Amino acid sequence: MFLVLSLAFVMYNRFLENRNSSDFDNMLHDYHGRVEGKITNGVIPTAEIQSFYKEHKRILRFVYVPKTKDLTNEYVYPEDTEASGLDMQPYISFPGLMDLTGAQREVRIALNREALFSPLPRVSLAAAMVSLSVYWILYALWSILNAHRMGRLNVLWVVLFFSLNIVAYLLFILIDKIRMVRLKEVI
């Protein structure tokens, strides 16, 4: 049970890491395909930005389009984002185009730290290690008890059971079967 639980935690860890990586890659690809280069002549593509945000809401906090010269607030989505949080890290900044008035714009995409940098993958990996350790110890103790019950326990087998675990137990059974075959030949 602990071995299966350990494998489940490892698979869950892999799933979380792959999901975050693919969501981030998809978000960047989607930005370059739908939003980049569309901020021209002072026109901000609000519909594209809103759609972009809604599709990647799990990993985004907000999308912010300031003027680069004076960093005045040009556009923020969602609209209820507090002004104090606009310069908070982490965010990705993409340079925009210069409009007719000479103001350069950029697009800042603020990432959701809790989603992308969640401690959950590390916790699941730690849980996998604990589960594997519990499995290893319990299996070694079970092997020691079986060897003791059969009257063949010694220090070498104890060391092998704790170091090689299931391989040592299979070796123990194989040696026992060979011993029994030889005993039958003698009789």
Domain boundaries, the chain: 35-116, 123-186
111 - beta bridge partners? Answer: 60
Percent of the chain with pLDDT over 90: 35
Give the residue with greater pLDDT, 80 vs 58: 58
Give the residue with greater pLDDT, 126 vs 46: 126
Please give the structure tokens belonging to residue 102. Answer: 């000479």
Q: pTM of whole model > 0.75?
A: no
Give 88-122 pLDDT, tens digit per residue: 667 777 776 665 566 666 777 788 877 777 788 88
CA–CA distances in Å: residue 167 to residues 120, 156, 161, 176: 33, 14, 8, 14
Short-list 109, 89, 81, 96, CA closest to 24: 109
Return all residues near 27 (Cβ < 8 A) that are at least 6 apart: 56, 59, 60, 109
User: 135: number of CA atoms within 13 Å, CB side?
Assistant: 16
Give the residue with greater pLDDT, 26 vs 132: 132
- Beta-sheet strands, E only, within 49-100: 60-66, 73-77, 91-98
Return all residues near 69 (Cβ < 8 A) that are at least 6 apart: 103, 104
